[in-house]
Amino acid sequence: MLGAMQDWPMRVTHVVDHAAREAGTREIVTRWADGSETRTDWAGIRRDALKLAQALQALGLEKGDKVASLAMNHSRHLVSWFGVAGMGGVLHTVNPRLFEDQLEYIVNHAEDRVLLYDAAFQPIVDMMRDRWPGVEHYICYDPPEGSDVRGFESWIGEQDGAFEWVGGDERDPCMICYTSGTTGNPKGVQYEHRSTVMHALAGLQPAAFNFSSSSVMLPVVPMFHAASWGLPYAGGMAGIKFVFSAINDPAVLHELMLREGVTDSAGVPTVWLAHFQYCDSEGLDLPPLKAATIGGSAAPRFMIERLMKNGTRVQHAWGMTETSPIGTVGGPSGNWDELSFEEKVDKTAKQGRAIFGVELRTVDLDDPTKVLPRDGETSGALQIRGPWVVKRYFKAEEDAVTEDGWFDTGDVGILHPDGTLQLTDRTKDVIKSGGEWISSVELENAAMGHPAVAEAACVGMYHPKWDERPVLFVIRKPGADCDAQGITAFLADKVAKWWLPDAVEFVEDIPHTATGKISKKDLRERHADYALPEAR
Ligand code: AMP
């Protein structure tokens, strides 16, 4: 027998309805690529989303159809998040940094019928048009003056907005994101209305984004990557002010943060690093943010320290496209006030604790049936389950989870007795030396603390006696001077002696994936002929 409460399918349109009703005049500011600025508010976002839903229907789109966006962060992209879902469609946020073959594959695989894009990506559209036979309509968010492409504002402007959201089951899909695909073709993860709403609600916890209605958020994490960490939805629920920038120039971001009273921001470590470098070169203080969310890659210790010294709470988050993406977030722990500054930094350098809704466990790397203790020491393959974790990739024939419902993340980590996750590596990158595991990520992070190191990447190379030994590839900071011995000496008191790299190689460049992470696969390929002295 059911209980007797009201039906309220968890659909994402509730988010924009709520925001427009309860925080209708809260501003949404956009700084466009051409330097111009527009201001709307949550009521305006909803109004335009209704018109977009109508305009899509007028093109003949139906429930379940896919609409792609190839766009940076701005208010019209936000409108599309709600308008596409509101007409029952599925928004496919395409990462413009993907390689041509991947772009071809994902748009065709998703069966996108309409593509909404930024003028900055016109060259991609021109290059791909013939390879995307299923895309029937191209609409430009910000057409340059005088161009003959169809512009978003004038297109939705033909509608009167008298539209009712298309309803349906809360398990209907509303968004699809493809993983960046370090091996094989990218895989599609289809988020549902329900999973999205639950994920966003969970993101509002004080232990996660900690938004209040006075929060002003400038998300640097792109809206095309892992649903921008769910921020547009969580922000709508809390009725916060958003400040978007369609370009990621630190000078622009800095100026916007100060002028618009930004309290919160979120981005991958490289974004924060670029901001530090900008402030240092201009002799400026860091912006007075209340909270900085850092995720996507491990937040280095020096970054956390600097932000915390600036009075900014650091929310170090772990997640992946497959997990909507938030899995864990680091915030003040139970005994926070008793910790020294150093201890607080140490704790924040770990990846935080699971937010309500997801469960984590680690299993033995060689025997996945063996669940490992949460003892703060034993590292293993990290698995996760919960309502916003992928069950099956889009169009896949088999589930992506174990029989008992756990998704294997491909990450390696340690769980601590207080629930804190400490990520140590990717399963494919962890280095096995003499039967013991070495964390390539820990070595990289430690090396990144060296004043002369701009970037470091560590991979295991074949060794005749130990199987694999770590080799560290380093890019020197411009004008900085350091040698291999100096780096090894620097690492000596930071990692176990037997972890110290067998070689440190200085390089001009380290390959990255389309989402800005170090691509170990490409690094290994690039140095396929590399041999350690012992193996030569
Ligand atoms: P993506 O699906 O592209 O967002 O990539 C997800 C992967 O990024 C995870 O499986 C981790 O390997 C990595 N990642 C995400 N957040 C963190 C973090 N805070 N620390 C270390 N690695 C992270």
Query: What are the pLDDT tens digits along the chain (536 aa)?
Result: 999 999 999 999 999 999 999 999 999 999 999 999 999 999 999 999 999 999 999 999 999 999 999 999 999 999 999 999 999 999 999 999 888 999 999 999 999 999 999 999 999 999 999 999 999 999 999 999 999 999 999 999 999 999 999 999 999 999 999 997 556 789 999 999 999 999 999 999 998 999 998 999 999 999 999 999 999 999 999 999 999 999 999 999 999 999 999 999 999 988 998 999 999 999 999 999 999 999 998 898 889 999 999 999 999 999 999 999 999 999 788 889 999 999 999 999 999 999 999 999 999 998 999 999 999 999 999 999 999 999 999 999 999 999 999 999 999 999 999 999 999 988 889 898 888 889 998 899 899 889 999 999 999 999 988 899 999 999 999 888 889 999 999 999 998 899 999 999 999 999 988 777 888 889 999 999 999 877 76
Q: Tell whether ligand 1 has an atom less than 6 A from the beta carbon of residue 409.
A: yes
Please give the structure tokens belonging to residue 311. 């009075």
Q: How far is the CA of 274 from the centre of ligand 1 (A)?
A: 19
Is the Cβ–Cβ distance between 506 and 474 less than 8 Å?
A: yes
User: What distance in angstroms lies between residue 523's CA and the mean position of ligand 1's atoms?
Assistant: 18
Nearest CA to ligand 1 atom 4: 320
pTM of the predicted protein model: 0.91
Tokens of 322: 């497959």
pLDDT value of position 521: 87
Is the beta carbon of 209 within 6 A of some atom in ligand 1?
A: no
> Distance (Å, rounded) from C-alpha 533 to C-alpha 536?
5
Number of residues written out for the chain:
536
Q: How far is the CA of 411 from the centre of ligand 1 (A)?
A: 8
Instruction: Give pLDDT, residue 437.
Output: 86
pLDDT score of 300: 86
Catalytic residue among 38, 104, 290, 432: 432
Give CA–CA dist 289/220, Å, rounded: 14
Task: Indicate if 437 belongs to the active site.
Answer: yes
> Within 13 Å of residue 418, how many CA atoms lie on the same side as its CB?
13
Distance 502 CA to ligand 1 centre (A): 27
Q: Is the CB of 515 under 6 A from ligand 1?
A: yes
Residue 169 CA to ligand 1 center (angstroms) comes to 31
Please report the atom of ligand 1 found closest to the CA of residue 410: 10
Helices 75-86, 42-58: axis angle to 10 degrees equals 50
Ligand 1 within 6 A of CB of 316: yes
pLDDT at 99: 84
By C-alpha distance, which of 413, 275, 418 is closest to 343?
Answer: 418
Give the strand pairing for 453-463 and 264-267: unpaired
426 lines ligand 1 (CB under 6 A): yes
Ligand 1 centroid to residue 295 C-alpha, Å: 7
133 CA → ligand 1 middle, Å: 33
Give the ligand 1 atom nearest the CA of 180.
3
| Closest Cα to atom 15 of ligand 1 | 296
pLDDT of residue 334: 82
Residue tagged active-site, from 437, 488, 494, 521: 437
Cβ of residue 327 lying under 6 Å from some atom of ligand 1 = no
Query: How many Å is the Cα radius of gyration of the chain?
Result: 23
Assess whether the C-beta atom of 320 lies below 6 angstroms from ligand 1.
yes
**Strand pairing category for 216-219 and 137-140:** unpaired
Q: Which of 411, 444, 521 to mutate to test the pocket of ligand 1 (most atoms within 8 A of CB)?
A: 411
Handedness of CA 257, 32, 103, 192 (dihedral sign): positive
432 catalytically annotated: yes
pLDDT at 182: 57
Q: Is any atom of ligand 1 closer than 6 Å to the C-beta of 461?
A: no
Q: Is 40 a catalytic residue?
A: no
**Whole-angstrom distance, CA of residue 256 vs CA of residue 239:** 20
Residue 383 in contact with ligand 1 by CB distance below 6 A:
no
Question: Are 170 and 299 in contact, with CB atoms under 8 Å apart?
Answer: no
37 catalytically annotated: no
Sequence-ordered list of residues with C-beta below 8 angstroms from that of 431, at least 6 positions apart, any chain = 437, 438, 439, 440, 458, 459, 460, 468, 469, 470
SS3 76: helix
